[in-house]
Amino acid sequence: LKNHVNSGLPKESDMEIKEASIQLKIPDGTKDAILLKNLYLSCDPYMRNRLKKLEGSYVASFQVGSPISGYGVAKVVDSTHPGYEKGNLVWGMTGWEEYTLLTAPEILFKIQHTDVPLTYYTGLLGMAGTTAYAGFYEVCSPKKGEYVYVSAASGAVGQLVGQFAKLLGCYVVGSAGSKEKVDLLKNKFGFDAAFNYKEEPDLDAALKRCFPEGIDIYFENVGGKMLDAVLANMRVHGRIAACGMISQYNNEQLDAVHNLMYIVPKRIRMQGFIVSDFYHLYPKYLEMIIPSIKEGKVTYVEDKAEGLESAPAALVGLFTGRNVGKQLVVVSHD
């Protein structure tokens, strides 16, 4: 990181690529360490918060002058940790660099299934997938036949929430910011309907058209004006899973939400959640998702940026909607 960015759209030039030498062996006497060769890095919207100089956030700020860290897929090249050995493939928290020495691994999972694309562990089989699974099944209390709305629906999390809701037999509508993304929602992910929110400034009218009987479940990825419009279109006993509010991440001042009062007469349950509270469900999620992938019941679209030098633009692109599907960076193919 070159400098912190507290508000506004982050720029590629807020980050820089630096060369440094690294020993490809863990120093003698260093216990419980793992040296990783990074293969794929995941670009995630929550990283916007870490670009800020913040205190008291649920994630720590990145340090100026140090490599950014985030989720990724890597190969163990050396280990003094009893749980890992050379050659293991892992996903979890790593550095935005070619090699990372982890001295106290926090979130790290050994990859057991290698007969699926390894890049999936940056999204579908990693953090975003667990988010969609926990957010939809645990937080939304979904039932067959319910009306489900997903915003930022073509992204890493949204495309999965829509597919999970379809598998359960719900009626699913998604919104996204381009024609290409709307086509994906309808033709690739099987959403019943979709709209481009950038071309429909009257969000209330768009939601009324898509949900003449109202929304039972809103999977919230966007916040701001979208949340306001949704609140007015929820059904009685509706549920809102507050997964993220990306429209607010660059704002200095948060947008006011005017329609919150609807929560009372409509008896809406709105619940925020953080995926790391649900990692105990990861094995259960794998049991469900691996066969679904192999049987072609769930599909996944990825947007791969090639090379570490493309990482800053890939991260910044999340906030302009440049990514189509899960944004990841290929550092090395093996």
Q: Footprint of ligand NDP on residues 29-88 (CB under 6 A)? A: 44-46
Q: Footprint of ligand NDP on residues 106-165 (CB under 6 A)? A: 128, 131, 152, 154-158
- Residue 52: left if φ>0, alpha if ψ -120 to 50, beta else—which one? beta
Q: Footprint of ligand NDP on residues 192-211 (CB under 6 A)? A: none
Contact residue for ligand NDP among 38, 88, 221, 233 (CB under 6 A): 221
- Least distance from C-beta 200 to ligand NDP, angstroms? 12
- Least distance from C-beta 40 to ligand NDP, angstroms? 15
Residue nearest to ligand NDP (CB): 155
Contact residue for ligand NDP among 74, 90, 148, 246 (CB under 6 A): 246
301 binds ligand NDP (CB under 6 A): no
279 binds ligand NDP (CB under 6 A): no
- Least distance from C-beta 78 to ligand NDP, angstroms? 31
321 binds ligand NDP (CB under 6 A): yes
Comparing CB distances to ligand NDP, the nearer of 34 and 165 is: 165
User: What secondary structure letter does DSSP report for 163?
Assistant: H
- Cα distances (angstroms) measured from residue 186 to each of 155, 172, 191: 14, 10, 5
274 binds ligand NDP (CB under 6 A): yes
Comparing CB distances to ligand NDP, the nearer of 81 and 326 is: 326
Sheet holding 215-220, edge to edge: 193-196, 171-176, 147-150, 215-220, 234-242, 269-272
Contact residue for ligand NDP among 50, 81, 166, 181 (CB under 6 A): 181
Say which residue the tokens 């939400």 belong to. 257
Distance between CA atoms of residues 316 and 14, nearest Å: 10
Distance between CA atoms of residues 140 and 127, nearest Å: 18
- Cα distances (angstroms) measured from residue 135 to each of 108, 140, 158, 283, 331: 21, 7, 11, 16, 30
Distance between CA atoms of residues 218 and 173, nearest Å: 10
**Helix, strand, or coil (residue 242):** strand
- Least distance from C-beta 5 to ligand NDP, angstroms? 15
The pairing of strands 326-330 and 34-42 is antiparallel
- Least distance from C-beta 124 to ligand NDP, angstroms? 11
Residue ranges binding ligand NDP (CB under 6 A): 44-46, 128, 131, 152, 154-158, 176-178, 181, 221-222, 243-247, 273-275, 318-319, 321, 323, 326-327
